[in-house]
Amino acid sequence: MKLVSYGRIRLDKHEPRIRFSNDGQETGLICLSGTCVVDVGGESYAMKSDDALYVPKNYAIAIRTELGVDLLECCAPVDGQYPLQFVAAESVRANDKLHFVAGRDGARREINILLGNNIQAGRLIVGVTRSLPGNWTSWPPHEHAAMLEEIYVYVEMPSPAFGLQLVYTDAISPAEVEVVREGDAVLLPAGYHPNVSIPGSTLNFVWIMAAHREVVDRKWGVVQVDPRYG
């Protein structure tokens, strides 16, 4: 990956605090579970599941929790300086341009765009997709390598749930199929990338995209669909 990076911040009562800086990189924090308070830019933000926080570059960030929290952290280098912005889960669910159901039978999924055109940013676009049991997502197969690179991080898939992730550029080969489970991350610098869950289980993932050209390519939904399945 040339631009986007991903990590996890897991805190609990034994290790309840962390401090770091994001020199040169804009940062997205997505609360996957638990609760915490993020102190940044002279403000304090209480975060719960599905809340998001956009932190501009060159900020000191302090995170503290009482019981525990699991945060997804994503970053991308930027030249511009953009505002510090908090996105509550409720504000996303109340906006039908950020929270909606996509796909036809067999490929139904709920999409939540957490850091999209609802905020100002340079490269990052982040959201969560949750499928219906046994359904495909990212279908029809699409790619956006000319504008965006991407990471899928699988969440909310307790054992024994799993899915299959395909990544291909031309003909589909068995070598391009990966089993994905809770906590797995799939790097998508290029290629079509559909996936499917097993019957009875959902396929859920945070998608993290970074625009190649800052601001200019930061667009969600501009994709090239595989013409064989479009």
pLDDT confidence band for 41 (50 / 70 / 90): very high
**Residues contacting 215, CB < 8 A, separation 6+:** 80, 122
pLDDT for 148 equals 98
Residue 230 pLDDT: 84
**Residue ranges per domain, the chain?**
5-88, 90-225
Average pLDDT value for residue range 204-228: 97
Please check whether the domain covering 5-88 is classified as CATH 1.10.10.10: no
Q: What is the pTM of this model?
A: 0.96
Q: Is the pLDDT of residue 44 over 80?
A: yes
Q: What is the SS3 string spanning the chain?
A: CCCCEEEEEEEECCCCEEEEECCCEEEEEEEEEECEEEEECCEEEEECCCCEEEECCCCEEEEECCCEEEEEEEEEECCCCCCCEEECHHHHHCCCCCEEEECCCCCCEEEEEEECCCCCCCCEEEEEEEECCCCEECCCCEECCCCEEEEEEECCCCCCCCEEEECECCCCCHHHEEEECCCCEEEECCCECCEEECCCCCCEEEEEEEECCCCCCCCCCCCEECCCCC
Does CATH number 2.60.120.10 belong to domain 90-225? Answer: yes
CA distance 197 to 181: 10
- Say if 5-88 and 90-225 have the same CATH topology: yes
Contact call for residues 164 and 180 (beta carbons, < 8 A): yes
Dist CA 145 CA 173 (whole Å): 20
Residue 173 has pLDDT above 90, yes or no: no
Band of residue 81 on the pLDDT scale cut at 50, 70, 90? very high
| pLDDT for residue 35 | 98
Q: How confident is the model at residue 170 (pLDDT cuts 50, 70, 90)?
A: confident
Position 175 pLDDT exceeds 80 = no
pLDDT of 176: 85
> Predicted confidence band at 174 (pLDDT cuts at 50, 70, 90)?
confident
Q: 186-222 as b/e, with b when 16 or more CB fall inside 10 Å?
A: bebeeebbbbbbeeebbbbbbbbbbbbebeebbbbee
**pLDDT (0 to 100) of residue 47:** 98
31 Cα distance to chain centroid: 11
| Beta-bridge mates of residue 99 | 112
